[in-house]
Structure 1
Amino acid sequence: MNPLAPAALAHACFMPTYAGARAHFLAAAAAAGAPTDILVHEQARGPDGSTLSTDVAVLGPRDAERALLVVSGTHGPEGFTGSAAQIALLYRLAVQPPPAGLRIVLVHAINPWGFAHLSRTTENNVDLNRNFIDWEAPPPDNPLYPSLHAALTAQEWSPEALDAAEARLQAWIRVQGHATFVDVLARGQYTHPHGVHYGGAGREWSNRTLETLLQRHLAGVRRIGLIDWHTGLGERGQPFFLCFNEPGDAGWERACRWWGRDRIETRAGFDGSARPRYQGLLFQGVQRYAPAAEVTGAVIEFGTLASAETRRALQADSYLKTHPGLPQDQARALRALLLEAFSPPDPDWKRSVLGHALRIQEQAIQGVEAWPA
């Protein structure tokens, strides 16, 4: 069954800009009676010079032992979908408060620079979802990435140059295999600052901000259910779950009860290949910054385009960073490519993902409520 949200609700929840999404999130939080905590990004500004922030809405008792944590905007333009899901949840909570004893913490735009500038990365071209490694140790190695780098990034944006890069990529895949390609591409790399899925050279502002907000709002919680909203993987308009609890452990089994074993244990989303060995995930950051809590949850994606088209959008994101002086028309076209890959304007897509998101959030609330304290 495909639960479509009402068209009017989708229109009310999906905003076309970071500023609009932020304003609607704060208004929905006020209507739900949720206090907000605004963490201003002092080192970055929006495209028009405006202030950027990560905003947190909180409902439920401070001494709660169980909480649901919902995050949007880890990857910039994917934040439009996460924001819509959070706004819709706040609308629901305005008329039906959360269960007694349950705390709900909604983190809006954890990567506000990427959200505002329509880039999957932070202001430092860092993939935030690869930045939560242990920075006291050397960064993880990805030894095959350098041989892929030139094929994944474009030095010239022309049909000929892009076709040549794709030919190099396909030649690499023929030698190394598709499963190796998926793993090398997705797991993250720490050697090429202008490359794809670059994990950074230290903790990003958003990384430190996550630690701050967890200390402020979830310090006493012992059971955390986590949803980190994303787009780009899976069947178009349908949810694709990436649970990062260990397969078979208590958290994994709990996620299966909340959302269905078929969703948690699927191998869809990677063109039949095994799940990459991801490094530095926000999920792992929550585990690190809330060490006294048990965390169960998932990155939840919504499919958009075929993987090759999504990969081209990643090239566009990189090209925009390395060529800041592009003509306005070309820059606008590349950003439109990014939005089509990570926040499609299609109204039916929005209705589908919002319908699923409402159900998934409700399942998580019920699951966390039933989680023994």
Structure 2
Amino acid sequence: MSASHFFSKDYIQARDRFIKSINELKGQGHQVSHDTLTLDCKGPNQENLCIDIATIGSIDSDNLLLYSSGIHGVEGFAGSAIQLSVLDQLKNANPITDYCIVFVHIINPYGMAWHRRVNENNVDMNRNFIKDHQGEPEGYEKIDTFLNPKSVPPKLDLMFLPWGISLLLKYGFTNVKQWFAQGQYTRPQSLQYGGDTLQQGPKMILNWLKKNLNNTKKVFGIDLHTGLGKSGYDTILVPDDIKEDKYNILVSLFGDHVSPLDPTQGVGYRITGDIHSGIVKEFSSIEWLTITQEFGTFGPTTVFKNLRAENRWTQNNQLNNEKDIMNHWSRKNLLNTFNPNNKRWQQDLISRGNTVFKSVQEYLSKLD
């Protein structure tokens, strides 16, 4: 079966296929439970937008694999494809008895359905898992007018490169990258906005976890992303303050794919309010080991330029119809930026997605 088989054309198809896969798994004798968290907004075809959580194995197990996708909306096309391919592999395996797997399918269904990276409130969900939604990086104000122009984007933006280069020369690449990417809580229409309160999706997920992780002792979390790095190559991003013993475990599992979230090293940067740090703080009695598996798509200039153009269009257009807004070239570019229609890229994703998943399965199966 080709890798492209697992990629869906839209949110509706991805969700239908996910539900079908877990039902097939259940029909083959696996222990499966399914919960649906429904948001209070709709998709382009008036479809319900839902976060689907499937538990494979017993939720009362000591050890758990938390496997999530789509926190950045359009990145969910790739994340869903990897999850579907993993479920396909599980159909050929014996039922899991010594740990359990919790699939969280599309944390930001609004973003996936409407081809945005953020949610219905322009919130970057991976900056929202935080209690104090205040402040911004000290240098964000210095680059705000470049990040968030108050006009619709031209297809040929002649000012983009000279303006951007002048800021990089003035402040340095590392500073500009960190100021932009960290997350800000003061400008609701601007890039990297983390919200002024916990959003409905994160709230529902945390409530589900609080209800169900009563007997859990250890969790290995994998959150699937696309965008940063060399095309098709997956970087295993970890907190830059990770303890040495945990870092060594991850290196033993994933080798030189492991990279800290440090703006001076590799493709990453420090962020506030990400899903794993937010969840870990809520469950201090559980031992956590978490990674972000990030698959590269295009170069950083292309990724940023298309992010900027899409938000610029969404915030400044004069249209009233959401479907018309969605059909703009900037949304199509954004979709292709984080979900390239490239068979080699798709093959790399499915292959490495399964490799990393199996490595974590083996790790969990050996725990006491």
1:296 and 1:245 map into 2 onto residues whose CA distance is 13
Q: TM-score, normalised by structure 2?
A: 0.91
Q: Which residue of 2 aligns with 1:355?
A: 351
SS of structure 1 residue aligned to 2:66: strand
SS of structure 2 residue aligned to 1:172: helix
Q: Alpha carbon RMSD of aligned pairs, Å?
A: 2.2
SS of structure 2 residue aligned to 1:366: helix
Give deviations 1:169-219, integer Å, cap 9, x for gaps.
221211111110111111111111111111111101111022022123333
SS of structure 1 residue aligned to 2:38: strand
SS of structure 2 residue aligned to 1:230: strand
Q: Which residue of 1 aligns with 2:191?
A: 196
User: Amino acid of the residue matched to residue 129 of structure 2?
Assistant: F
SS of structure 1 residue aligned to 2:14: helix
Give deviations 1:46-101, integer Å, cap 9, x for gaps.
11221110001111113201000000100001001111111111111122135422
Give deviations 1:280-317, integer Å, cap 9, x for gaps.
11011220233321111211111111101000111133
Give deviations 1:142-190, integer Å, cap 9, x for gaps.
1210121111124231256x33244332212111111101111111111
Q: Which residue of 2 aligns with 1:344?
A: 340
2:10 and 2:72 map into 1 onto residues whose CA distance is 15
Q: Identify which of 338, 361, 369 aligns with 2:365.
A: 369
Q: Which residue of 2 aligns with 1:100?
A: 97
Q: 1:329 to 1:282 in 2, by over 3 A?
A: closer
Q: Does 1:51 align with 2:48?
A: yes
Shift of 1:258: 2.2
Q: TM-score, normalised by structure 1?
A: 0.90
Q: How many residues align?
A: 359
Shift of 1:231: 0.2
Give the 5 Å matches for 1:106-121: 106-121=103-118
Q: Which residue of 1 aligns with 2:290?
A: 297
The answer (yes or no) to whether the contact 1:254–1:296 under 8 Å persists in 2 is no
Shift of 1:12: 2.6
1:317 and 1:97 map into 2 onto residues whose CA distance is 45
Q: Identify which of 213, 233, 242 aligns with 1:247.
A: 242
Q: Which residue of 1 aligns with 2:154?
A: 158
User: Amino acid of the residue matched to residue 357 of structure 1?
Assistant: G
Q: Which residue of 2 aligns with 1:38?
A: 36
The answer (yes or no) to whether the contact 1:186–1:278 under 8 Å persists in 2 is yes
1:283 and 1:62 map into 2 onto residues whose CA distance is 19
SS of structure 1 residue aligned to 2:226: coil
Q: Which residue of 2 aligns with 1:263?
A: 257
- Gaps of at least 5 residues in structure 1 are 1-5
Q: 1:324 to 1:205 in 2, by over 3 A?
A: farther
Q: Does 1:280 align with 2:278?
A: no
- Gaps of at least 5 residues in structure 2 are 27-31
Q: 1:338 to 1:271 in 2, by over 3 A?
A: farther
1:236 and 1:344 map into 2 onto residues whose CA distance is 10
Q: 1:22 to 1:166 in 2, by over 3 A?
A: same
Q: Does 1:14 align with 2:10?
A: no
Give deviations 1:26-62, integer Å, cap 9, x for gaps.
0001111122101111x21111221110001111113
2:312 and 2:23 map into 1 onto residues whose CA distance is 39
Shift of 1:350: 0.7
Q: 1:24 to 1:167 in 2, by over 3 A?
A: same
SS of structure 1 residue aligned to 2:215: coil
User: Amino acid of the residue matched to residue 230 of structure 1?
Assistant: H
Q: 1:127 to 1:214 in 2, by over 3 A?
A: same
SS of structure 1 residue aligned to 2:331: helix
Q: Which residue of 2 aligns with 1:74?
A: 71
User: Amino acid of the residue matched to residue 139 of structure 1?
Assistant: Q
User: Amino acid of the residue matched to residue 263 of structure 1?
Assistant: H
The answer (yes or no) to whether the contact 2:239–2:260 under 8 Å persists in 1 is no
1:313 and 1:217 map into 2 onto residues whose CA distance is 39
1:310 and 1:271 map into 2 onto residues whose CA distance is 19
Q: Which residue of 1 aligns with 2:142?
A: 147
The answer (yes or no) to whether the contact 2:63–2:218 under 8 Å persists in 1 is yes
Shift of 1:256: 1.9
The answer (yes or no) to whether the contact 1:214–1:289 under 8 Å persists in 2 is no
1:292 and 1:54 map into 2 onto residues whose CA distance is 26
2:155 and 2:317 map into 1 onto residues whose CA distance is 20
Q: Does 1:187 align with 2:185?
A: no
Q: 1:320 to 1:271 in 2, by over 3 A?
A: farther
Shift of 1:271: 9.0
Q: Which residue of 2 aligns with 1:3?
A: none
The answer (yes or no) to whether the contact 1:245–1:251 under 8 Å persists in 2 is no
